[in-house]
Amino acid sequence: MSFIDGTAVNVALPVLQRDLAASSASVQWVVEGYSLFLSSLILIGGSLGDTFGRRTIFGAGVALFAVASIVCGFAPTVDLLVFGRCLQGVGGALATPGSLALISAAYAGIDRGRAIGTWSGASALTGALGPVLGGVLVQFFSWRAVFFVNVPIAAMVLVILATRVDESRDEHAWKRPDLLGATLATLGLGGVVYGLIALETPGSSSSALAFGSIIVGMLALVAFVAVEARETHTMMRLDLFASRTFSAANAYTFVLYAALGGSLYFVPFDLIDVQGYPPAFAGAALLPMIVILATTSRLSGGLVASVGARVPLTLGAALAACGFAIFAFAGVGHPYWLTFFPGSIVLGTGITLMVAPLTTIVMDAVETSHAGIASGINNAVARTSGLIAIAALGVVISTTFTASVAREAQSTSLSADVKAALVRESAVLLTGKLPASVRGSDETAAAHAVVRSAYADGFRITMLASSLLALVAAAIGMDRSFRLGALSR
């Protein structure tokens, strides 16, 4: 549910934005609200599972996620939808680390690698399948169905959990949850993200609020690290980072998932609003990536035992960089078979190579008793990087879009008043609406052409930035701690 919702909702965003008359910032919060609470609380979710039982906390998270999905499905306003998404994030924070920790506690040695490979393949597959499912539901039913589909899934999960999964916990775990750490993490990430999203809105007052929010958020994050380093029993075990392998793996995770999470948020907007794809087609555009993940992810689970993690991590990130670079040149109206199709193949191959080995080395770098918190840290790093990247790349795409609108508008035959309105209301254009001064079919068509071209420019810069991040991850993947000999020591 959490992986599907993490991607399926993206396809629904252009449609629900129009349906709820939501601003671009509000639409970003539909994704960021979920990611914020998932990122900031996933650490405490992992530690709660280690303490009170991983099956118990996992089940509680699934149940809460289902309730929150009902709230989202019935939401009459974007504000209530964002609230429901935040509640989903809390449920996901309880469930996500528990799933992997339960598997790690049940297997050892090469069997653990294969089991984690299966988990990685399933999570990658469902995450990749999300856009297809979301597109079909949005086009043939409603964007609300994207949330309602979670309810029967949750019911099946809870039945399987009660009948087929054994309980496990860390008997030496501290019994008191780290509420101070969770509060500081939420405040810190929330402040930074709020500030970055606010920067997309022009104006001196909004800029002052944005920078102030970012400063407060960064101070809270510094306080969070200080508290976690000073206290003995915290939700984030900083002593785990004494392992070079664990530290390098999380650095790799942060950079690569910033590229993945940050860029793929904008793909549905380009496919639907720029390329003109129906939602179902937009969701299926990355289907080649899904096929690759479904057929080969399990095979990559055993790569660490045979060749180490260095080769698959480096090659996987390099291929991902190539995939993003191909997306960057999608333009407006270029054939799918020359743009998103080859890009999704290359990107899917790269993800397949790196997901299972990355998860395996993270879990193998710590003792089994710390599996929950290790999983929580790595998931938090992945979610946090995507959370920040979406907000940061939103500033990039908004800035590029505004500059491009001003440039493209001048090259058209539109009247001076309409040109001025397009430049003045560029923030409104990002919501898919045209200024009221645009009248007539010719003016409307010309204005839409300006908007599509401007968004394509922003999309290109975003994809190139993601490609650069993936190349940085490839460089980290060459770390000596990922060699086969180093991993066995």
Name residue 309's amino acid: A
Query: Among 395, 472, 461, which Cα is nearest to 195's?
Result: 395
One-letter amino acid for residue 430 of the chain: L
Q: Which residues of 399-412 are buried (b: 16+ CB within 10 A; e: fewer)?
A: ebbbebbbebbeee
- Domain range for 311: 2-178+233-401+455-488
Predicted confidence at residue 204, as pLDDT, reads 47
Burial environment of residue 445 by CB neighbours within 10 A (0 to 12, 13 to 18, 19 or more):
exposed
Within-domain flag for 63: yes
Written as six digits, the tokens of 445 are: 């068509």
- Residue type, position 153, single letter: I
Q: Look at the chain and report how many structural domains it folds into.
A: 1
* pLDDT of amino acid 409: 67
The token pair at 119 is 């988990």
Residue numbers of the chain with a pLDDT score lower than 70: 120-121, 124-125, 127-128, 169-178, 200-206, 231-236, 294, 297-308, 365-373, 375-376, 408-448, 481, 483-489
* Contact status, residue 91 vs residue 154, Cβ threshold 8 Å: no
105 located within any domain = yes
What is the distance between the alpha carbons of residues 321 and 467, in angstroms, rounded to a whole number?
Answer: 4
In this structure, what are the phi and psi dihedrals at residue 235, rounded to the nearest 5 degrees? -75, -20
pLDDT given for residue 489 in this prediction: 42
Cα(168)–Cα(21) distance, rounded to whole angstroms?
47
Residue 69, pLDDT score: 92
In a domain, 166, yes or no: yes
| Angle, helices 24-52/371-410, rounded to nearest 10 degrees | 170
User: Is the Cβ–Cβ distance between 300 and 117 less than 8 Å?
Assistant: yes
**Residue 103 maps to which CATH number?**
1.20.1250.20
- The one-character DSSP state at 176 is S
Residue 173 φ then ψ, to 5°: -70, 150
Is 415 part of any domain? no
Nearest to 319 by CA among 354, 267, 361: 354
In a domain, 291, yes or no: yes
Phi, psi (deg, nearest 5) at residue 166: -85, 150
pLDDT given at position 301:
60
Q: What pLDDT is recorded for position 154?
A: 92
Q: How far apart are CA 471 and CA 317, in angstroms?
A: 6
Please report which helix (H) or strand (E) contains residue 150, including its range: helix 150-164
End-to-end, the C-alpha distance of the chain in Å comes to 37
The number of residues in the chain equals: 489
In a domain, 442, yes or no: no
Give the pLDDT confidence of 289-318 residue by residue, as tens digits. Answer: 877 876 776 666 666 666 667 888 899 999
Single pTM value for the model: 0.77
Sort 151 into a burial class: Cβ within 10 Å, 0-12 / 13-18 / 19+.
middle
Counting runs of H as helices and runs of E as strands, what totals does the chain give?
A: 21, 0
Would you say residue 391 lies in a domain? yes
> Which of 210, 257, 203, 202 lies closest to 39 in space, CA to CA?
257
